[in-house]
Amino acid sequence: MCGLAGFLYRPGVLEADRAVALGTAMTDRLNHRGPDADGHWSDPELGIVLGHRRLSILDLSEAGAQPFVSPSGRYVLSYNGEIYNHAVIRRALEEAGATPAWRGTSDTETLAAAIDIWGIEEAVSRTVGMFAFALWDRERRTLSLCRDRAGEKPLYWGWTGTGRERRLVFASQLSALWVHPGIRGEIDRSALVELLRHRCVGGARSIHPGIRKVLPGTIVTIDGLDGEPSETRYWSLMKVLATRGGDPWKGSQEDAIDALEVLLLDAVGGQMISDVPLGAFLSGGIDSSLAVALMQRLADCPVRTFSIGFDVPRFDEAPFARDVAEHLGTEHTEVYVGERELLDIVPALPNMFDEPFADASQIPTALLARITRKQVTVALSGDGGDEFFGGYDRYRQGAALTTWLDRLPLGLRMALARGARAVPDAVVGAMLAPLRPAREGKEPGLQWARRMGRYLGSPSGDALHRDLVSFWRDPVSGVRGAGPADDPARTLPSALDGFAIEERMMADDLRAFMVDDILAKVDRATMAASLESRAPFLDHRVMSFAASLPLELKIRDGKGKWILRELLARYVPRALFERPKMGFEAPIGAWIRGPLKPWASDLLSHDRLVRTGHFEPDVIEAMWHDHQEHRAEWGHQLWSVLMFESWLDQAQVRDQVAERVD
């Protein structure tokens, strides 16, 4: 795993050594992504700088160093990721009589050679892996930016400056772009609205106007500083879902379990290839337990597994992981962390995540990555299992509520919702007090009732799911200067019309929540520790197979991940994993009432919010007081504001870097 950065500029505007110095400043900001080596390539006559930071995983020699010039000399590649089937691609090149004089055994060299022979689109279509890369075509003088199918690896790009100072900048993380003047202090208000709603900035946008993300499965091609960038989709998850993987499953359920086992064994085996120590995250849940079970089947020695435990029983999965590890015979490392360790990492989060990010599970994820990196450099995970195989409780709950609501005419539902809103708070609270006792971290009865009332007024299953995954239902009200148009709508493709509501919910999560929250969280947290994370469930062949399966093989008898449970039962006794799902969370609401209160109070003070000017101070202040007085549970909502305001403090460092370099 690595970090890449670079920029296009007008020849003659920057001296050659100045351009390289700027490229070096960019890659220095990515040192955590690649602490093993630093490389640069530039062409001052054409105005291009490519930079790279290397975390050596395959072929630790200089033969794998980057930026990498392809065998023909036509392409220069700066690449972040792993091509798990690169040996297969090498054999295909050899069989075609297109074998270059190999310099080493790295997947970087394989990818560069494949692009030489087949071109970029066919080359990436043949890969099995995760990646983001920048490719300079010296013949056509074009820059291509490419991202893997699932969106595991990030890649930002955009414009800065005007006239002769205009530049095209790109990097694995935003911090590398901050060394360029022109993007400092600019905040996209619509992105800020999305941060409040979903705890992250999603899709192609970033927190900065003019800076975008390359979308999963996409190649962005830039033809010079004055050309119009073009996008090519070489793989579309929505198309795969809409066509049910291109080949809807028609076999028996036992055959489906067998087929999934073969696919996952191949995916796990490919991801176990490494020239450095390798292990796995193990929570004791279905996804990570299955990944570890398959790893252990393929390994010739005990697999190293890692879990983190918490003093708060509601958040502690360590005992379950311990039982699974003992059954499978892994070399297990379990570390319990207390409140102090969890809180100590909070000040590091803005630097770690670069772009404002507010899923509080970032805290235990970052701690687990640090613990794991002490022993291994690569760790497999169970990411993707929930979204592809129906693991979240909200899929069943949302479907049940939708079925019930569909029995009522929309006009009646809306009238009932208005009536529920009209009932005074005191009456609702008094009615629910004996029925819904207050619990730390859970919504008080009144807040819960108001949320249920909103669901009653949902006009469709899609709208209900949008409400279920929205932490702020009306985030525009909290952002200064944001209008209704800034609230980003998410509409599923018409090709998914007619799909079951559970399938539509999964599709929405796969294109948004999984990419923008889960995968962004894991990438930043692991890379901050210089640890590479791999996800077998995100092998595109597994994704296509999951899309081909009928819903009853995913959700059955009120439980999700039916087929994964059946497969795991071949390796682990059901008693070790058949239990209610636990989220990998942090008790953020309690913390900002307790040990984090002084820090949070400063960041959310009325004077500060007026001064920074991004949020409506009165709205935030009211939420803060209601939360402190236990009148409402706004922990996750306030965490989004806190992470942004904390990130703003980091922006002062960002400005200093830019002023120093340019």
In this structure, the number of other CB atoms found within 10 A of the CB of residue 374 comes to 11
The fraction of the chain above a pLDDT of 70, given in percent, is: 90
| 262 pLDDT higher than 50 | yes
Average pLDDT of every residue of the chain? 89
d(CA 272, CA 279): 9
CATH 3.30.56.10 fits 2-235, yes or no: no
Query: What is the per-residue pLDDT for 395?
Result: 94
With contact defined as beta carbons under 8 Å apart, do 587 and 315 qualify?
yes
Domain locations in the chain as residue ranges: 2-235, 252-391+504-576, 588-661
As beta bridge partners, residue 157 has 170, 212
Q: How confident is the model at residue 653 (pLDDT cuts 50, 70, 90)?
A: low
d(CA 79, CA 111): 9
d(CA 612, CA 623): 18
Q: How confident is the model at residue 438 (pLDDT cuts 50, 70, 90)?
A: low
For domain 252-391+504-576, which architecture applies? 3-Layer(aba) Sandwich (3.40)
Q: Choose among 212, 213, 214, 207: nearest CA to 190.
A: 207
Cis peptide before 550 (omega within 30 of 0): no
- What is the mean predicted confidence (pLDDT) over 178-183? 84
d(CA 528, CA 1): 12
CA angle, 334 then 337 then 342, to 5°? 135
| 467 pLDDT higher than 70 | yes
SS (H, E, C) 639-656: HHHHHHHHHHHHHHHHHH
| 485 pLDDT higher than 80 | no
Choose the weakest-confidence range: 245-259, 468-482, 591-605.
Answer: 468-482
The number of CA neighbours under 13 Å toward the Cβ of 182 is 16
